[in-house]
Amino acid sequence: MLATLKVNNRNHTIDLSNPLDISIAMSGNVSNVNAWYITHPRIEPHTEGKFIGAVSKGAAVNFNDIWFNPHAHGTHTECVGHITEEFHSINKNLNQYFFYAEVVTIAPEKSNDDFVISKKQLQYAFGNKKRDAIIIRTLPNLSDKCSRQYSKTNPPYLTEEAARFLVDKGVEHLLVDLPSVDKERDGGELLAHKAFWDFNGKIRKQATITEFVFVPNSIGDGTYFLNLQVAPFENDASPSRPVLYRNIEE
């Protein structure tokens, strides 16, 4: 099934039958990807008195309760409400769902005791392109990213200058395969989050950050169309499913 999208006054054709899902599925066990010092998500039959919500236990239907934290337990998209005293909902702020996007691969560089994604690296990888969204795949890119336990590991992160560079380039949707765009323990500074949302200026309410994506090595660097959908939670963040589509020659 083909669809035509118009970007910068040019028509682009995508094949909707060939989606490239870059989300990490959520499971209810200890192998689920995790961060921020909390236990794994749980997906289990609801119980009430003698009722157990599982067909295998005699119920007519499977009726599971799910407990999770969107920031800690898988692919999620967040808005500026993540860092503001005032409530902002990702479900309200994200109201367009197809974006012109660029996939780039970066090996974070050493900076003191950390590994970071720097402005210089993004300048080299992204150049002067005009894109709505950027998807950053970090090296090494191993499948254990889908089950890694990140707490207390000081994962790589973006520098403040790198985040500002993306804002200057007009990027409104930042996707990374890391638990956060900021340092795990930074004393609450959140420099990359604040820079990307222009927290101390004219807040970019429409801009989003998506963390915990996984971009398989079979997906090459380059230009794609991104379909970014979130579950309709009235919350600062929600589980999300970013899907890429390759551009077909016009």
250 pLDDT more than 50: no
Mean pLDDT of the chain: 96
Specify the pLDDT at position 7. 75
What's the average model confidence in pLDDT over 220-247?
Answer: 97
Specify the pLDDT at position 190. 98
Q: pTM of whole model > 0.85?
A: yes
8 pLDDT more than 90: no
Structurally, the chain folds into a number of domains equal to 1
Sequence-ordered list of residues with C-beta below 8 angstroms from that of 220, at least 6 positions apart, any chain? 103
59-110 per-position pLDDT tens digit: 999 999 999 999 999 999 999 999 999 999 999 999 999 999 999 999 999 9
Residue written as token pair 């990140």: 150
Specify the pLDDT at position 2. 83
User: For the chain, how big is the Rg over CA atoms in Å?
Assistant: 19
With cut-offs at 50, 70 and 90, classify the pLDDT of residue 199: very high
Sequence-ordered list of residues with C-beta below 8 angstroms from that of 13, at least 6 positions apart, any chain? 2, 3, 4, 5, 247, 248, 249, 250
172 pLDDT more than 50: yes
In a domain, 114, yes or no: yes
User: Helices marked H in the chain — which ranges?
Assistant: 90-93, 119-126, 160-168, 191-196
Specify the pLDDT at position 195. 98
With cut-offs at 50, 70 and 90, classify the pLDDT of residue 233: very high
In a domain, 167, yes or no: yes
Specify the pLDDT at position 67. 97
| Boundaries of domain holding 192 | 14-26+70-248
In a domain, 171, yes or no: yes
113 pLDDT more than 50: yes
In a domain, 122, yes or no: yes
In a domain, 196, yes or no: yes
In a domain, 239, yes or no: yes
In a domain, 8, yes or no: no
CATH assignment at residue 190:
3.50.30.50
Nearest residue to 226 (alpha-carbon basis) of 26, 7, 73: 7
With cut-offs at 50, 70 and 90, classify the pLDDT of residue 249: low
Whole-angstrom Cα distance, residue 101 to residue 103? 7
In a domain, 90, yes or no: yes
